[in-house]
Structure 1
Amino acid sequence: MFTHLSVTTGLPRHDTARSLRPSRSSSTTSSGIPDLADSPRTALDVQVTGGTVRGVRDGSIVAWRGIPYAAPPVGPLRFRAPQSVIPWCGVRDASRHRDVASQIPRNSLRSKIARQLASEDCLTINVLAPTVGRRTRLSLPVMVFIHGGGYSIGSAQDFPQQGPSFVRTGRVVYVNFNYRLGALGYLDFSGYSTPERPIENNLGLRDQLAALEWVRSNIRSFGGNPNNVTVFGESAGGNAALTLMATPAARGLFARVIAQSPPPGAAYAPELTRGWAEEVVNELRAITPDAVGETSDAAQLLIEADAGQLMLAALAVQVRTPDAQPGTFCLAPVVDGDLLPEHPVDAFRRGHTHHVPLIIGTNYREGSAFGRRVDILPQSPQRIQALFERAPEGTHDAMRAAYPGLPTKHAASDFGGDFAFWFPSVTVGGLHSRVAPVHFYRFDLAPRLMHVVGLGATHGIELFALFNDLDTLFARSVTAFGGRKPFISAGERMRRHWLHFACTGVVEASWPNYTEQDRQTLIFDEVDRVECDPRGEQRQVWQEFWPTL
């Protein structure tokens, strides 16, 4: 339920699996020796865990890309927690991105990159720093972005301007990274683990922890302060940020969090996640009829399957899950009682999260694009009815009154978006305000064409403004009919708020704290404003309708 506006749907062609097989970068020799092994050292060389990397200068920015933060999770390391970086000799070329995580290739309007190489060897991290920071050895605040994409697609290469838009201010060091997705990162196959071949769960979450541990160990070499790290993410990345707040192993790895349009409820018990894993194994057998077919050999099938076959099997389950179990999404963290001891929302309710300052918020019409491009929210009459059957009967009339016309299209899209994003986010914001400062926002602004086509400020739209990534075909198209300047201006203000928070640990004085008593919310619009408990009546209806959140 947490994927970007630009994701297309539909089953891929059968040749997709072939395109996802692991590939070796052309800049690395067959023995794995980096390109620059024999090159003399330069001012752009940095010593990190594993060896030396050489960056590239781009105006006022120095970039180091494609740095390993863990060993490649391939062969015997598939379905295992990330392992230590494999050291290299000489100088490793860090001038460009490396392979993104294995995923089903889909047309994306988020990125200028026409084609990205995908493989299981994807655990790499990127660092951007201002040149002034390198010259003066400043200890700058660090911003670490976790990309979204429903834990099934996406990469650190999405929104090419995401890092430069922050780093060119000279105020921060910017980091982003790839982590395992889909069947390789977010399905719980641990039920098939054996002593001979262990299989672990929450692999994408473990990758995120490994990346943050790498930042703690190495960021000083890039001019960053490991004790002043802000983690932020959008959609699945926002879910990841909140989940890290509820993960004991993440303690001390960040000082504050920004969660943009997160789906906080997306974490599930092993009873559910292992059922989805079993479905994927059955799909995998159908895709590979000549492979191992016995239940006792499911682990071998998982280990030996092509990455593309795994992704296709997971996609089949992903597509049918919203109808089979409305309100859920099969690619999500598992509440395993170990790495993730309790559901993140429960951890917020009990005060068991890391007590760090939090910015959290959503867009005005989160669900408006999902029924058109990604059919995973509870927006169909059947899915909505299933949720009503689980809610207290005395709340049904009030909920229908809150969304007039339900389950017609407009009302259904808002109901689904509010169920997945808005209501759980205001719930988490209120709960966390009991133990730490919270600031809530809502992004209302959208170019004129977005309103004409009935989408408005939908899921993911704020990223184009925040990252000043307005030269993509999508961004140029939707701003061609008006609203470009106000949209750019809103992005500048949002970026200013994010930077102030990352650099000082507090927000600007004009943005009041969010509490359960007044719920003061900053509304990003043509002219920003603060509202007290916006849509409060709907919030109260949801609290009665869905009290178990």
Structure 2
Amino acid sequence: MKIFTLSCLMAAASLQAVFAQVLIAPETDMNSTVIPDTNTTTTESTTSDTSYSLADTSATSTPTILNSVQVLVDNNLEVGGANFPFIYLPEQRIALRGAASCSKLGELLYSAQSRSLPSVQKMLTQVAPNVTEFWIDTGASDSLYLTSCDTLVMKDGKATVKTGGSCLRLLPSLCSNVNVSGKVTVQTSLGRVTGARDAMGFRFQGIRYAQAPVGSLRFAAPVPVTTKWSSAVDATTPGNKCPQLGDLPGGKEDCLFLNVFTPILNAEDKNLLPVMFYLHGGSFTTGTGSDPAFNPANMASRGQVVVVTINYRLGLLGFLERVDAGISRSTLPGNQGVRDMLVALKWVQDNIASFGGDKSKVTVFGESAGGHAVRTLLSMPVAAKGLFRAAIAQSDPIDLPFNNVKTASTVVSGGAMTLLNCIDLACMRSKTVDELLAVQNTIVSQSIAHAPEESFLELIKPSVDGILIHNNFDQLIAGKDGGFVKVPMMIGTMKNEADGFLPSLGQSTPMPPTVMGATLATILGYQRAMVTIGYGLYPIDGSNPDGTREAEGLFASDYLWVCPTQFIAKAYAATNTPVYQYQFQRGYNPNRPSGDICATHVCHGDDVALVFASPSLMNNASTYPWTAADAALSRTVMDRWTAFATTGGNPNPAGDSNPAWPQYDGKTQSIYMFDTTNTVSTGGIRPQFCGFMDQAIHYDFQL
């Protein structure tokens, strides 16, 4: 008996040694996920096109290669609601190798206790519906994973634990997800990029997508990064934001970076996830893709999508042109910020598969000026061809048209050059960033006097340049000048979009009724303001101490956002291109002071938290109380955004108990109303008021 036992032990040891050799043999799939080996580190330098690096610092680890890795979380968007996160390794392996693969991530095989089974089965049904068995370890497996191993069995959508099975079968593995401070490296078309891992998935920040637009490249079209690098670059922290003033001034010209948030790495082609490409707002003069307010970790996790956020050039640095002064577009192209967006979208086409994304399933979305940027991309059927398949425009101030040559070249760029005493591009390139920002601020401050019909909110913005953009969006939808990018679109507004902008007109507190006429004249010009007052559709409630601002807010919301959005939706639907319209009747922004009119209204920007459920917000309860009702509305919103991206144009998630969202058409005019109880409205929004604007005073883009 002793001889038999000794023989068995020797055989087991020999078998274990063979398995160990298999485990440490490198896998050669160049699309593999790269997991740094924490036992061996070396300092590596970063190379790139020029003297600047492709990220802020260099990665410092020697990697070991694994195959596909997917982080799964039953994420209900509530505080502390990331339930039972685990990692799915779809590669089929014997149990010992599955355990070793988990170990490379600093994890163990998942214990799959009974309390976690509902969450586990929910996620596996979603991402691996055809897989029936997975390696786990409830503690009943033998320590060497040789003779008796645990598995989780899926049957008819239900998960059960099976113990005592053979360890030599080839099955996918489930790992724990508790060691969330590790790094991961992926192979892109240009070289390796190292990012970070957390409970929600993987994040890669500060990835350079174009050369630094400095020196001779200031005001030039972006130059994509094309030179390969040999050492992994560190993408664990955001890159520089673009120069700006505003609430958070600062930034550097070397700012063309993007960020990728993904729940999966090194996926097989059939498992690649939809991509959501976000464009930040900020009137084309402020903002950054790394703003914590729209950290997309929860969106990527819950929606099982890959989210990309980007920086693009802002202000004069992003929209300088002087065709009126004889400086050709071959020398000074204009729309530099728009060109940045196009290069970033092309980067996605070339590289997103390395981050688990499907380049054929890209949805562009953005809020405020980001929504305007989405409109801009839709207006470029040649330049944007094949770069995205669906679009979401949130709170785009659609009344504001693209700039014409007068505004873009003469008022904005010409005005700035005059203030700087510059007559050529060389002079403009010699100025400091601070000098450019100072004159930009002066030009914007004077904009109401120079071009009131175009500049109430965005003086600096994309222009009709005859190269990328050939006409305003309504004309392109009507079939003129090459048309538009015909993809499904989701578009909508907040109930009280304009109220938050009244302080920019000096109206931070209740105002006397006499101010109303001046406000209308500022937005419309004198003649159309008199017509509007004459129709009496926006009376001031004398019993309300804040009646003037209430009436002004209603008018400005209708004119700049609500009614032109409906006008465009109707025109879009008439081309037989799917369009879905919405309005938020409830938002999220708990930090409004009591005197702020938006403390009791649903204002511009109050949708951002509901779309993203940013962890930065949810982890700061003292400043941002996030209730179960907030989480419920956020789930409704986020699920529709990600369903739209996943399907390429249908915002109705499977198995959802909320009302179905019908496609908009000019007859029924169905609009989804996001609220504590979600509803579908028919017959359009505020038809009397929007009918007046459609027919009596028209919109700025029609003038």
Same fold (TM over 0.5): yes
Residue in 2 that maps onto 1:48:
188
Q: 1:148, 1:234 within 8 Å by CA — same for their partners in 2?
A: yes
* 1:173 alignment partner in structure 2: 306
**How big is the alpha-carbon RMSD for the aligned residues of Structure 1 and Structure 2?**
3.2
Bigger radius of gyration among the two: 2
1:540 aligns with 2:677: no
User: Match of 1:350, SS?
Assistant: coil
1:522 matched to which residue of 2? Answer: 672
1:353 matched residue in structure 2: 484
Report if aligned partners of 2:257, 2:310 keep a CA contact under 8 Å in 1: yes
| Preserved CA contact (<8 Å) 2:297 2:614 | no
3-state DSSP class of the match of 2:197? strand
Distance 1:168 1:345, change over 3 A: same
Alignment TM-score, normalising by the size of structure 2: 0.66
Aligned to 2:415: 279
1:59 offset after TM fit, Å? 2.4
**Counterpart in the other structure of 2:462:** 333
Q: Secondary structure at the match of 1:82?
A: coil
Q: 1:390 to 1:487 in 2, by over 3 A?
A: farther
* 1:348–1:432 contact (8 Å) kept in structure 2: yes
Say which SS state the counterpart of residue 597 (structure 2) adopts: coil
CA shift for structure 1 position 411:
1.2
Q: Give the Cα–Cα distance (whole angstroms) in 1 for the partners of residues 506 and 568 of structure 2.
A: 25
- Deviation per residue, 1:56-87 (Å, 9 max, x gap): 21224111111111111110001111112153
Identify the match of residue 567 of structure 2 among 427, 430, 433. 427
Equivalent position to 1:269, from 379, 404, 408 = 404
Give the match's secondary structure for 1:228: strand
Match of 1:101 in 2: 242
Please state how far the C-alpha of 1:475 moved relative to its aligned partner: 8.5
User: What is the SS of the residue equivalent to 1:233?
Assistant: strand
Matches within 5 A, 1:33-72: 35-36=57-58, 39-43=61-65, 44-72=184-212
User: What does residue 503 of structure 2 align with?
Assistant: 372
Residues 1:42 and 1:310: Cα distance change in structure 2 (over 3 Å): farther
Aligned equivalents of 1:117, 1:257: Cα separation in 2: 30
Q: Distance in 2 between matches of 1:226 and 1:404?
A: 52
> Aligned residue for 1:90?
231
The worse-fitting range, judged by mean Cα deviation, of 501-510 and 185-194 is: 185-194
**2:581 alignment partner, one of 440, 443, 458:** 440
Matches within 5 A, 1:441-480: 441-446=582-587, 453-455=596-598, 456-469=601-614, 472=617
Which of 245, 250, 261 is the matching residue for 1:128?
261
- C-alpha separation in 1, matches of 2:531 and 2:697: 12
Whether 1:237 and 2:370 are equivalent positions in the alignment is yes
Task: Name the residue aligned to 1:164.
Answer: 297
CA distance in 2, matches of 1:477, 1:187: 43
1:14 is matched with which residue?
Answer: none
Q: Secondary structure at the match of 1:280?
A: helix
Equivalent-residue separation in structure 2 for 1:357 and 1:238 (angstroms): 15
Aligned to 2:553: 413
Matched, 1:494 2:628: no
Q: C-alpha distance in 2, partners of 1:417/1:476?
A: 31
Q: What CA distance in whole angstroms lies between the structure 2 residues aligned with 1:451 and 1:437? A: 40
- Cα deviation digits, residues 367-416 of structure 1 (max 9, x gap): 1111225769xx96435125153439766522x32454699322112222
Does structure 1 conserve the Cα–Cα contact (< 8 Å) formed by 2:672 and 2:678?
yes
Distance 1:217 1:131, change over 3 A: closer
Q: In the alignment, which of 394, 397, 415 is matched to residue 260 of structure 1?
A: 394
Judge conservation of contact 2:493–2:582 (CA < 8 Å) in 1.
yes
2 CA distance for matches of 1:521 and 1:174?
26
- Which residue among 494, 497, 510 is the counterpart of 2:660? 510
| Larger relative contact order (CA 8 Å, sep ≥ 6) | 1
- Provide the rounded CA distance (Å) in 2 between the counterparts of 1:184 and 1:260: 25
Letter in 2 for 1:268: N
| Aligned partners of 1:239 and 1:266 also within 8 Å | no
Q: CA shift at 1:516, angstroms?
A: 1.7
> Are 1:308 and 2:434 matched, yes or no?
yes
SS of 2:299 mapped into structure 1: helix
SS state at 1:465 partner: helix
Residues 75-224 of structure 1 mapped to structure 2, 5 A cutoff:
75-85=215-225, 87=227, 88-104=229-245, 106-107=247-248, 118-131=251-264, 134=267, 138-160=271-293, 162-169=295-302, 171-191=304-324, 194=327, 198-224=331-357
Identify unmatched segments of 5+ residues in structure 1: 1-26, 108-115, 286-292
Deviations 1:260-312 (A, max 9, x none): 000123411112211221111223x2xxxxxxx4x6x3423211111121111
After superposition, the Cα gap between the structure-2 partners of 1:390 and 1:338, relative to the gap in structure 1 and judged at 3 Å, is: farther
Identity %: 28
| Structure 2 residue aligned with 1:16 | none
**Number of equivalences:** 501
Q: Write the deviation string for residues 414-435 of structure 1: whole angstroms up to 9, x where unpaired.
A: 2223222222211111111122
Q: 1:401 to 1:225 in 2, by over 3 A?
A: same
Moved more, 50-59 or 117-126: 50-59
Contact 1:464 1:475 in 2 (8 A): no
With the length of structure 1 as denominator, give the TM-score of the two structures.
0.83
Measured after TM superposition, the shift of residue 464 of structure 1 is: 1.5
Partners of 1:268 and 1:403 in 2: CA distance: 32
What's the offset of the Cα at 1:188? 2.9
Alpha-carbon distance between aligned partners in 1 of 2:323 and 2:621, rounded to the nearest angstrom:
45
Q: Structure 1: how far apart are the matches of 2:290 and 2:426? A: 33
3-state secondary structure, aligned to 1:168: helix
Structure 2 residue runs of 5 or longer lacking an equivalent are 1-44, 66-183, 508-514, 653-658
Distance in 2 (CA, whole Å) between partners of 1:138 and 1:80 is 38
Find the residue that maps to 1:250 and give its secondary structure.
coil
Counterpart amino acid of 2:605? G
Q: Distance in 2 between matches of 1:372 and 1:194?
A: 38
